[in-house]
Amino acid sequence: MAAVSSPNPWGKINEEENERLMARRKTRKRIIIIAFSSIILVAVVVVAAVVGASRAAKDGDSSDRRGNDRSIYASIKAICDVTLYPDSCYSSLAPLVTSKSALTPQEIYKLSVQVAISELAGASEKFLRGGAFNKSDPAVEKALESCGELLSLAMDHLNDSLSVEKKSTVAGAFDDLKTWLSAAGTFQQTCIDAFENATDAAAKTAADHALNNATQYTSNSLAIMSSVVESISALGGVGRRRRLMMSSPEVWLSPEGRRLLQANIKADVVVAKDGSGKYKRIKDALKSVPKKSKKRFVIYVKKGVYNENVRVEKNMWNVMMIGDGMDATIVSSNLNFVDGTPTFQSATFAVFGKGFIARDMGFRNTAGAAKHQAVALMSTADQSVFYRCKMDGFQDTLYAHSNRQLYKDCTIIGTVDFIFGNAAVVLQNCRIRPRKPMAGQQDTITAQGKLDPNHNTGISIQNCAVSPLGNLTGVNTFLGRPWKNYSTTVFMQTELGGLIHPSGWMPWVGTTAPNTIFYAEFQNWGPGAVTKNRVKWRGLRLNLSARILSRFTVKPFINGDRWLPAAGVPFKAGL
């Protein structure tokens, strides 16, 4: 995630695009007006109302236009005006129009995703051949290796965003689509960021240029989808599901979930270092996981320290891994940036397959502070859960990269940016333990990487406890710093120890932060929770209502009530 050669001692990339993004950011008022007028006229079905928005809005002034062709292109322009890149949106979509009637937002959305897929496929093929790069630079070669995987993941998520399961509700479909499009954009940006460490300064520029259209088209698709969601929300949540509250409205468990919480879970395979199981290594046990299975596959890992780098691949769905305790079953390794491994590839334990659950396990990276970026656990897996687990490292311990994630009753230990990424992630009832960093460094708990205002991502820390691991005398500890321009982080209902610096937050570079960030503190307590001397950033909100902050709780933020009950993990749904 970061380069040692960076001018600041934390070694993260220097963001320079804030002014450009702010200048190009567009209001969504026009599309909301379009949607309102059409929904009033066409109130037969919710989806029909939404997809008819553009057509209805243009009926009133159609007499001023000559022919349907102008109406068609006008509808495209109206939709494209809500995106960050309206020019690329219009220029990429207008030539594809073959219909003789105005297109609906749904049709334009599908076209935009297809354009993004086509562009990414072409760009990836040329890009990964590396013709524009100096392959004699080991950092370039490693970056290209990471990009091969990242761009494949981006393509998977774009393809997923063209269709959702028929059983999904309207609201559920929107949640999924926004998540997958946000992840697709994150994968592409992570690829570009991988070139920060190249000796050749032109490498990142070349990567940025090669993927420029693909990243813009992905962003455009997300903006179009977001505008439709906002239109529906403005009408009071039309199409949203309602469910009956259970006897305990805050903790949700399905019958299957309750069974999973019982002590005697039947394991499909057992891993044991002493030879008492079928496998001695976790990576060998994973080879027996059925591909893309919708059935839960349980791996029991007996106590012991497993010195290996583990990957739960993207076609390994619904894996559940259970240990004998976070301090008893430990996966350990020491890959790190200084020794030549990019951040994205340095994880001791990396999860890509959706629906993953880990329980009672520890993940650690023993590289140490001097080795800079060294990830203990990374997850890109949608609907992944870590329950009663420990992530132990120094810089970049927990990489919550993308998609929807929950960490419940976990312990996270680290120094610089040790909870980072661009997932929609909630940490609930966790112990967050800053430790002593390298000389000249300060501890920063979070570094959230939201790079597009339409991403439905952020770090939400709820009902946790922040306390030092060891003596931190002389070390300033901050709640976080903004890795990207729309960095979004919330600390709420959390105990903050006296180790927290009175200013609370630290700039990425310079003395301030972009106005576009969203940082919030709500109902925290402890000596570190006093906010009178906090930084005076426009993006730091200290007096928001419970109604606004509730958006960052499990149920609305990661749609937890839809998928967590089956995971067998108790959780608090709201505030």
Active-site positions read 396, 417
CA angle 223, 227, 233 (to 5 degrees): 140
Instruction: Classify residue 53 as exposed, middle or buried by CB count within 10 Å of its CB (0-12, 13-18, 19+).
Output: buried
Cβ atoms of residues 17 and 485 within 8 Å: yes
CA atoms within 13 A on the CB side of 509: 13
The CB-side HSE value for 364 (13 A sphere, CA atoms) comes to: 18
Q: Which two tokens stand for residue 500?
A: 């927290």
The count of other CB atoms within 10 Å of the CB of residue 241 is 11
d(CA 291, CA 316): 5
Tokens representing residue 517 in the block = 């960030």
Of residues 252, 569, 125, the one with CA closest to residue 385: 569
Chain-centroid distance of CA 132 in Å reads 30
SS3 480: strand
Q: Assign 416 to helix, strand or coil.
A: strand
* Torsion (CA) 437, 440, 446, 450 in degrees, nearest 10: -140
Residues making up the chain, counted from first to last: 575
Residues 310, 539: Cα–Cα separation, whole Å: 38
Q: Quick one: which of 345, 420, 350, 409 has its CA closest to 380?
A: 350
Are 490 and 459 spatial neighbours (Cβ–Cβ below 8 Å)?
yes
Query: Coil, strand, or helix at residue 424?
Result: strand
Dihedral sign, CA of 175, 180, 185, 189? positive
Q: What is the bridge-based pairing of β-strands 349-351 and 310-312?
A: parallel
